[in-house]
Amino acid sequence: MSRQDVTEKIQAFIDTCHRHHLKITPQRVAIYRELLQSDMHPSADVLYRLVKRDYPNISFDTVNRTLLTFVHIGVANVVEIFGGAKRFDANVSDHHHLHCIQCGSITDFHHRYFDSLADPEDVPADFQILDKRIVLKGICNACSKKTSQPHGTPHHDENPKQKGK
Protein backbone atom coordinates (compact mmCIF):
# COMPACT_ATOMS: atom_id res chain seq x y z
CA MET A 1 0.00 0.00 0.00
CA SER A 2 1.45 3.38 -1.02
CA ARG A 3 2.02 6.18 1.43
CA GLN A 4 -0.78 8.17 -0.15
CA ASP A 5 -3.22 5.25 0.09
CA VAL A 6 -2.39 4.92 3.77
CA THR A 7 -2.93 8.66 4.34
CA GLU A 8 -6.27 8.58 2.52
CA LYS A 9 -7.46 5.47 4.36
CA ILE A 10 -6.51 6.97 7.70
CA GLN A 11 -8.41 10.15 6.82
CA ALA A 12 -11.46 8.05 5.91
CA PHE A 13 -11.03 6.18 9.20
CA ILE A 14 -10.97 9.46 11.15
CA ASP A 15 -14.11 10.63 9.32
CA THR A 16 -15.88 7.38 10.20
CA CYS A 17 -14.86 7.74 13.86
CA HIS A 18 -16.30 11.27 13.87
CA ARG A 19 -19.57 10.01 12.40
CA HIS A 20 -19.77 7.43 15.19
CA HIS A 21 -18.79 10.00 17.84
CA LEU A 22 -15.72 7.98 18.63
CA LYS A 23 -12.84 9.93 20.11
CA ILE A 24 -9.73 9.98 17.91
CA THR A 25 -6.76 9.06 20.08
CA PRO A 26 -3.19 8.58 18.84
CA GLN A 27 -3.42 4.98 20.09
CA ARG A 28 -6.54 4.26 18.05
CA VAL A 29 -4.95 5.72 14.94
CA ALA A 30 -1.78 3.68 15.60
CA ILE A 31 -3.77 0.45 15.93
CA TYR A 32 -5.66 1.19 12.72
CA ARG A 33 -2.45 2.11 10.89
CA GLU A 34 -0.76 -1.16 11.88
CA LEU A 35 -3.81 -3.15 10.83
CA LEU A 36 -3.98 -1.27 7.54
CA GLN A 37 -0.33 -1.81 6.74
CA SER A 38 -0.37 -5.50 7.53
CA ASP A 39 -1.56 -7.88 4.85
CA MET A 40 -1.33 -10.82 7.25
CA HIS A 41 -4.75 -10.47 8.88
CA PRO A 42 -3.11 -10.10 12.29
CA SER A 43 -4.57 -11.18 15.63
CA ALA A 44 -5.07 -8.69 18.47
CA ASP A 45 -1.92 -10.07 20.06
CA VAL A 46 0.23 -9.39 16.99
CA LEU A 47 -1.15 -5.84 16.76
CA TYR A 48 -0.65 -5.31 20.47
CA ARG A 49 3.05 -6.15 20.12
CA LEU A 50 3.40 -3.77 17.14
CA VAL A 51 1.61 -0.84 18.77
CA LYS A 52 3.42 -1.37 22.09
CA ARG A 53 6.68 -0.32 20.46
CA ASP A 54 5.40 3.28 20.22
CA TYR A 55 2.92 3.15 23.11
CA PRO A 56 4.60 1.04 25.81
CA ASN A 57 1.78 1.66 28.29
CA ILE A 58 -1.02 0.34 26.11
CA SER A 59 -2.68 -2.83 27.37
CA PHE A 60 -3.68 -5.87 25.36
CA ASP A 61 -7.23 -5.36 26.52
CA THR A 62 -7.31 -1.84 25.05
CA VAL A 63 -6.02 -3.09 21.72
CA ASN A 64 -8.52 -5.94 21.68
CA ARG A 65 -11.47 -3.73 22.60
CA THR A 66 -10.40 -1.10 20.06
CA LEU A 67 -10.32 -3.72 17.31
CA LEU A 68 -13.82 -4.89 18.20
CA THR A 69 -14.95 -1.25 18.07
CA PHE A 70 -13.40 -0.96 14.60
CA VAL A 71 -15.44 -3.97 13.51
CA HIS A 72 -18.55 -2.43 15.05
CA ILE A 73 -18.19 0.83 13.08
CA GLY A 74 -17.34 -1.04 9.89
CA VAL A 75 -13.70 -0.07 9.32
CA ALA A 76 -12.45 -3.63 9.90
CA ASN A 77 -13.70 -7.18 9.67
CA VAL A 78 -13.13 -10.25 11.75
CA VAL A 79 -11.80 -12.98 9.47
CA GLU A 80 -13.81 -16.20 9.52
CA ILE A 81 -11.44 -18.50 11.35
CA PHE A 82 -12.86 -21.04 13.74
CA GLY A 83 -10.78 -21.89 16.75
CA GLY A 84 -7.70 -19.89 17.67
CA ALA A 85 -7.50 -16.15 18.12
CA LYS A 86 -9.69 -13.78 16.12
CA ARG A 87 -7.92 -12.32 13.11
CA PHE A 88 -8.63 -8.84 11.79
CA ASP A 89 -8.72 -7.28 8.34
CA ALA A 90 -8.79 -3.56 7.50
CA ASN A 91 -9.78 -4.39 3.93
CA VAL A 92 -13.57 -4.24 4.05
CA SER A 93 -14.08 -4.28 0.28
CA ASP A 94 -14.99 -7.42 -1.71
CA HIS A 95 -12.24 -9.99 -1.56
CA HIS A 96 -11.68 -13.58 -0.56
CA HIS A 97 -9.16 -15.54 1.46
CA LEU A 98 -6.66 -18.33 1.05
CA HIS A 99 -6.20 -19.96 4.42
CA CYS A 100 -3.18 -22.22 5.00
CA ILE A 101 -4.19 -24.92 7.47
CA GLN A 102 -0.57 -25.54 8.47
CA CYS A 103 0.88 -22.13 9.32
CA GLY A 104 -2.44 -20.27 9.61
CA SER A 105 -1.49 -17.65 7.02
CA ILE A 106 -4.42 -15.80 5.44
CA THR A 107 -3.88 -14.23 2.03
CA ASP A 108 -6.28 -12.10 0.00
CA PHE A 109 -7.39 -12.98 -3.48
CA HIS A 110 -9.86 -11.36 -5.82
CA HIS A 111 -12.38 -13.06 -8.04
CA ARG A 112 -15.22 -11.22 -9.71
CA TYR A 113 -17.38 -14.34 -10.08
CA PHE A 114 -17.16 -15.06 -6.34
CA ASP A 115 -18.05 -11.41 -5.62
CA SER A 116 -21.37 -11.81 -7.39
CA LEU A 117 -22.47 -15.28 -6.29
CA ALA A 118 -26.26 -15.67 -6.15
CA ASP A 119 -27.81 -16.42 -2.76
CA PRO A 120 -28.15 -20.20 -2.35
CA GLU A 121 -31.78 -21.34 -2.62
CA ASP A 122 -31.73 -23.40 0.56
CA VAL A 123 -30.76 -20.49 2.79
CA PRO A 124 -33.84 -19.85 4.97
CA ALA A 125 -35.78 -16.81 3.75
CA ASP A 126 -35.60 -15.21 7.19
CA PHE A 127 -31.80 -15.39 7.23
CA GLN A 128 -30.41 -11.99 6.37
CA ILE A 129 -27.21 -12.33 4.34
CA LEU A 130 -24.80 -9.48 5.09
CA ASP A 131 -21.61 -10.65 3.47
CA LYS A 132 -20.42 -13.44 1.22
CA ARG A 133 -16.80 -14.40 1.34
CA ILE A 134 -15.10 -17.47 -0.05
CA VAL A 135 -12.40 -19.14 2.05
CA LEU A 136 -10.17 -21.60 0.22
CA LYS A 137 -8.31 -23.84 2.64
CA GLY A 138 -5.07 -25.44 1.65
CA ILE A 139 -1.32 -25.49 2.08
CA CYS A 140 0.65 -22.39 1.19
CA ASN A 141 3.78 -22.49 -0.92
CA ALA A 142 6.13 -22.02 2.03
CA CYS A 143 4.52 -24.93 3.91
CA SER A 144 4.52 -27.17 0.81
CA LYS A 145 8.25 -26.64 0.49
CA LYS A 146 8.78 -27.64 4.11
CA THR A 147 7.05 -31.02 3.79
CA SER A 148 8.58 -33.93 1.95
CA GLN A 149 5.40 -34.54 -0.06
CA PRO A 150 4.52 -31.22 -1.62
CA HIS A 151 1.75 -32.70 -3.77
CA GLY A 152 0.51 -35.42 -1.43
CA THR A 153 -2.29 -35.22 1.09
CA PRO A 154 -1.40 -32.95 3.98
CA HIS A 155 0.26 -34.70 6.89
CA HIS A 156 -0.20 -33.67 10.45
CA ASP A 157 3.06 -35.12 11.70
CA GLU A 158 4.56 -33.34 14.67
CA ASN A 159 7.97 -33.51 13.01
CA PRO A 160 7.61 -33.18 9.27
CA LYS A 161 10.67 -34.54 7.52
CA GLN A 162 13.04 -31.74 6.63
CA LYS A 163 14.70 -31.96 3.27
CA GLY A 164 18.38 -31.07 3.29
CA LYS A 165 18.93 -27.44 2.42
Among 1, 6, 24, 103, binds Zn ion (CB under 5 A): 103
Q: Among 7-15, 88-96, 109-117, 119-127, which window interacts with Zn ion (CB under 5 A)?
A: 88-96
CA distance linking residue 12 with residue 19, whole number of Å? 11
Find all residues with CB under 8 Å of 94, minimum gap 6, and list them: 110, 115
Angle at the Cα of 71 from the Cα atoms of 66 and 77, rounded to 5 degrees = 125
Tell me the closest approach of the beta carbon of residue 105 to Zn ion, in angstroms.
5
Tell me the closest approach of the beta carbon of residue 153 to Zn ion, in angstroms.
15
Binding to Zn ion (CB under 5 A) within 114-143 occurs at 140, 143
Whether residue 58 contacts residue 50, with contact meaning beta carbons closer than 8 Å, is answered with: no
Known binding positions for Zn(2+): 100, 103, 140, 143
Question: Based on CB atoms, which residue is closest to Zn ion, 16 or 105?
Answer: 105
